[in-house]
Amino acid sequence: MVREHCDRTTALVNESSQLVLAGHVEPQDDLRAERKRASFSSQELAVVLNGGTEVLQRRSRLISQLQSTSWGSQAAVSQRCFHSREQLHVEGLVAQTEIWKLMQSGALSQQDAKDMETLLTLPGGLTLHQYMFIPTIETQGDEEQQAYWLPKARALEITGAYAQTEMGHGTFVRGLETTATYDRASEEFIIHSPALSSIKWWPGGLGKTATHCIMLARLIINSKDHGLHPFVMQIRDLHTHLPLAGVRVGDIGPKFGYNGVDNGYLMLDRVRIPRRAMLMRHARVTPDGHYFPPSAENAKATYGTMVAIRALLVDEAGWVLARATTIAVRYTAIRRQTSERVGDKELQVLDYQNLAATLLPLVASAYALIFMGKASSDMYKRFEQDRDAGNLASLPELHVLLAGMKALSTWTAADGIEACRRGCGGHGYSALSGLPDLYASYVQNVTLEGDNNVMSLQTARHLVKSQEAVAKGRRVEGSAAYLQRAEQELHRKCSVQAPQDWQTAEVLDAALRHRATYLAAEGHKLLLRHGGGKINFAGPDWNGNTVQLIHMAQAHSQLVLHTTFAQSVHQADLEPAARAALIKLVALHGMSLLLRDLQDLFMDGYLQAFQAQMLVQRRNELLLELRPDAVALVDSFGIADYQLNSCLGRSDGDVYRALLEAASGQQLNKTEEGPAWNAVLKPWLDPASRQQARSKL
């Protein structure tokens, strides 16, 4: 019935096509023309961005495999936006367990399985099992514990969540309240929720899926509080899936998005777990209750899983923004709106400066974040190798870099998706565009794994400490090393004399570096106001100046992001035309960052008004220069239609037909009269029914 309805409507459209206005352009022709006028080959650039031809081929193979299943077919994926929470939850788990099965049978490697899930874009109750439960055991369990837990977790005989956040505390990890009290007589820990605020709240997969969790609780031995430690805790019976005695567990309810995942609550009434359930790679408790703390350089070992996830989130941000910009750029290149006279060819809306100025800098941000994501992953991998060899020296730098970058990247991606949605006008508001769901499911990333303001403040703390170090004549290494030359930098002025000067890498780097240095110096001064020369990182000077401190940390992260982008393009193996386009994109990225907070550069007289005017002029020229390459730049992300799952972003540009087919094919259109007709509308609207009702009065 639904299919018939759809076919009839399409036929009607085809029949009336001879009535179109003279200036009408078929959307597919627009996209074809866009591709023809590009200055470089998007296929070649896609290979570079994605890390090789094999990666793209492997992805196509995985998509074909998905398409051949009932749970991963295009039809199943495109129906998702019509489904309830319960359906999404079950569908997510079906997909994840099927993928797991393929992995266990050897048909998929572990990496294939992860990539398949990413392509499916359907998070489920097992996501945290893979990304936090197993990795925490791998990095924080000792050898014996790993040998005991990991085979069960990898075989899916048990499934786990990461239970850290509580109703009362997420940010302030040291303030968590759940207790793990050691009972020497039975050699067990007693896990307890002492207050309403101590109930675990938010962990993904905890509500209905997990049989176990990583429990973060305060270790108490002989009434002494040793702070937060990780435990592996069983919460459900393996035969019945019912909660164990003393355990109250459930789902926390519908959310803004991400509704297939059962984020859960967990309340514990003196539940006993064995001594060896405490993960003991870094700290230990002996049977007789002796506590051995982690070494000083391992003091933050418990936070290790969070650092790993932040690296992943940085990596993910660029690709998510790539998806949103692919949809928006392709759509705004086929969308035509307004001509001087009716019947004339209307303008592609991407040719309006307001849209180009919104979307092209976002394309640049997506590229910058993709390169940054790769750099962050490489940095994290190097840290892992060092850590496994017992060397944790790079952890402090890794933490502060990733904290600020997690904030910058997720803010950029989340705000960017919403800007793309708005840029697509009315059709952007339709779930069929793919953008509302992308936004609703992504925007959580600005909060989870460390709220972005809080993460920025970790970076701010490091920048302030770096300045203190410089003042004391100590050397500062790593991403804040530029503060070493703060004194000279603060006397510099912008050298721009002509609009074209803004395009040079040195000028842009210098301006971004000056801004970061200036803001760091100002932030430092603010903190020294009342402390008698000593900074209190939890005192009123700190808490009363967090707006400025967050801004300062973000300026630093922007500098790191931009210089990483520029270097990556410089080092990439690109054909000359693609390199030329990307060099312009790097310039647009830098200029957009400066224009967003231009006031900073005026504060200490670094910039003059004529130079700011030249910056705006050059940015506007760049928008025009990059416009012919807009579609090729998003094609180069190499994101398949399957993954976009968007009527607006499809690569052939046949947007209007796709919208019509998807809309007319949905369940609400299953019958012509609609589901409310008989029970609700008919008694009012149908004259015979009305007559009948009146006669009964």
Ligand X SMILES: Cc1cc2nc3c(=O)[nH]c(=O)nc-3n(C[C@H](O)[C@H](O)[C@H](O)COP(=O)(O)OP(=O)(O)OC[C@H]3O[C@@H](n4cnc5c(N)ncnc54)[C@H](O)[C@@H]3O)c2cc1C
322 forms part of the interface with ligand X (CB under 6 A)? no
Q: Please choose which of ligand X, ligand FFI, none residue 479 contacts, taking the beta carbon within 5 to 8 angstroms, the exact cut-off set by kind.
A: none
3-state secondary structure of 192: strand
The Cα angle at residue 334 between residues 72 and 30, in degrees rounded to 5: 105
In whole angstroms, give the CA distance from residue 595 to residue 587.
Answer: 12
Has 204 been labeled as part of a binding site? yes
444 forms part of the interface with ligand X (CB under 6 A)? yes
Q: Please choose which of ligand X, ligand FFI, none residue 465 contacts, taking the beta carbon within 5 to 8 angstroms, the exact cut-off set by kind.
A: ligand FFI
In whole angstroms, give the CA distance from residue 72 to residue 74.
Answer: 7
The site map against ligand FFI for 454-483 (x = CB under 6 A) is x---x--x---x------------------
* Least distance to ligand X, CB of residue 5, Å: 37
The site map against ligand FFI for 410-449 (x = CB under 6 A) is --------------------------------------xx
In whole angstroms, give the CA distance from residue 45 to residue 284.
Answer: 51
> What does the block give as tokens for 234?
């069983």
Q: By CB neighbour count within 10 A (0-12 exposed, 13-18 middle, 19+ buried), where does 363 fall?
A: buried
Sequence-ordered list of residues with C-beta below 8 angstroms from that of 361, at least 6 positions apart, any chain: 588, 589, 592
Q: How far from chain centre, in Å, is Cα 201?
A: 21
Helix %, strand %, coil % of the chain (to 5): 60, 10, 30
231 forms part of the interface with ligand X (CB under 6 A)? no
Residue closer to ligand X (CB basis): 35 or 114? 114
Q: Please choose which of ligand FFI, ligand X, none residue 461 contacts, taking the beta carbon within 5 to 8 angstroms, the exact cut-off set by kind.
A: ligand FFI
Site residues (CB under 6 A) for ligand FFI, limited to 297-356: 300, 303, 306-307, 309, 312, 315-316, 319
Residue closer to ligand FFI (CB basis): 300 or 682? 300
Q: Please choose which of ligand X, ligand FFI, none residue 131 contacts, taking the beta carbon within 5 to 8 angstroms, the exact cut-off set by kind.
A: ligand FFI
Which span sits near ligand X by CB under 6 A: 10-18, 74-82, 157-165, 499-507?
A: 157-165
Going by DSSP bridges, is the β-strand pair 179-183/212-221 parallel, antiparallel, or unpaired? parallel
Site residues (CB under 6 A) for ligand X, limited to 185-204: 202-204
Residue closer to ligand FFI (CB basis): 451 or 509? 451
Residue closer to ligand FFI (CB basis): 139 or 611? 139
- Interface residue with ligand FFI among 1, 15, 22, 174 (CB under 6 A) is 174
Sequence-ordered list of residues with C-beta below 8 angstroms from that of 470, at least 6 positions apart, any chain: 476, 483, 484, 486
Using alpha carbons, select from 510, 293, 479 the residue that is nearest to residue 404.
479
Which span sits near ligand X by CB under 6 A: 163-171, 240-248, 275-283, 598-606?
A: 163-171
* Least distance to ligand X, CB of residue 454, Å: 5
447 forms part of the interface with ligand X (CB under 6 A)? yes
CB 575 within 8 A of CB 40: yes
Has 665 been labeled as part of a binding site? no
450 forms part of the interface with ligand FFI (CB under 6 A)? yes
CB 648 within 8 A of CB 327: yes
* Least distance to ligand FFI, CB of residue 174, Å: 5
> What does the block give as tokens for 127?
């996501």
Calculate the dihedral angle through the C-alpha atoms of 313, 316, 318, 322, rounding to the nearest 10 degrees: -150
Quote the crossing angle between the two packed helices 655-664 and 2-15, to the nearest 10°: 150
Q: Please choose which of ligand X, ligand FFI, none residue 653 contacts, taking the beta carbon within 5 to 8 angstroms, the exact cut-off set by kind.
A: none
CB 686 within 8 A of CB 474: no
In whole angstroms, give the CA distance from residue 438 to residue 459.
Answer: 28
CB 233 within 8 A of CB 277: yes
Q: How many CB atoms lie within 10 A of CB 296?
A: 7
> What does the block give as tokens for 372?
């940054």
Q: How far from chain centre, in Å, is Cα 690?
A: 55
**506 catalytic, yes or no?**
no
Site residues (CB under 6 A) for ligand X, limited to 529-548: 546
165 forms part of the interface with ligand FFI (CB under 6 A)? yes
* Least distance to ligand X, CB of residue 159, Å: 13
Residue closer to ligand FFI (CB basis): 172 or 684? 172
Strand partners for 183? 188
> What does the block give as tokens for 123?
């998070």
The Cα angle at residue 270 between residues 268 and 275, in degrees rounded to 5: 105
146 forms part of the interface with ligand X (CB under 6 A)? no
Site residues (CB under 6 A) for ligand X, limited to 209-228: none
In whole angstroms, give the CA distance from residue 589 to residue 363.
Answer: 9
Residue closer to ligand X (CB basis): 48 or 252? 252
- Where would I find the beta strands (DSSP E) of 105-178? 160-163
In whole angstroms, give the CA distance from residue 457 to residue 585.
Answer: 30
* Least distance to ligand X, CB of residue 473, Å: 31
Q: Please choose which of ligand FFI, ligand X, none residue 173 contacts, taking the beta carbon within 5 to 8 angstroms, the exact cut-off set by kind.
A: ligand FFI
- Interface residue with ligand FFI among 278, 324, 375, 639 (CB under 6 A) is 639
CB 517 within 8 A of CB 483: yes
Which span sits near ligand FFI by CB under 6 A: 170-178, 357-365, 410-418, 648-656?
A: 170-178
- Interface residue with ligand X among 72, 123, 170, 428 (CB under 6 A) is 170
265 to each of 251, 259, 444, 692, how far by Cα in Å?
A: 6, 15, 18, 53
Site residues (CB under 6 A) for ligand X, limited to 248-307: 258, 263
* Least distance to ligand FFI, CB of residue 347, Å: 31
448 forms part of the interface with ligand X (CB under 6 A)? yes
457 forms part of the interface with ligand X (CB under 6 A)? yes
CB 642 within 8 A of CB 63: yes
Q: Please choose which of ligand X, ligand FFI, none residue 197 contacts, taking the beta carbon within 5 to 8 angstroms, the exact cut-off set by kind.
A: none
* Least distance to ligand X, CB of residue 262, Å: 11
- Where would I find the beta strands (DSSP E) of 24-68? none
Which span sits near ligand X by CB under 6 A: 167-175, 268-276, 488-496, 505-513?
A: 167-175
Residue closer to ligand FFI (CB basis): 69 or 118? 118
What residue type is assigned to position 126 of the chain?
A: L
Site residues (CB under 6 A) for ligand FFI, limited to 44-103: none
3-state secondary structure of 268: strand
Residue closer to ligand FFI (CB basis): 44 or 187? 44
- Interface residue with ligand FFI among 156, 173, 221, 535 (CB under 6 A) is 173
Using alpha carbons, select from 333, 281, 259, 441 the residue that is nearest to residue 33.
333
CB 366 within 8 A of CB 317: no
String of DSSP letters for 518-549: HHHHHHHHHHTTTTTT---TTSHHHHTTHHHH
From 449, 522, 621, 661, the catalytic residue = 449
Q: Please choose which of ligand X, ligand FFI, none residue 263 contacts, taking the beta carbon within 5 to 8 angstroms, the exact cut-off set by kind.
A: ligand X
What are the binding residues for FAD?
165, 204
Residues of the shown chain interacting with ligand FFI in the complex, contacts defined by CB under 6 A: 118, 127, 131, 162, 164-165, 170-174, 204, 300, 303, 306-307, 309, 312, 315-316, 319, 395-396, 399-400, 448-450, 454, 458, 461, 465, 639
- Catalytic residue set: 449
Residues of the shown chain interacting with ligand X in the complex, contacts defined by CB under 6 A: 128, 162-165, 169-171, 202-204, 258, 263, 444, 447-451, 453-454, 457, 546
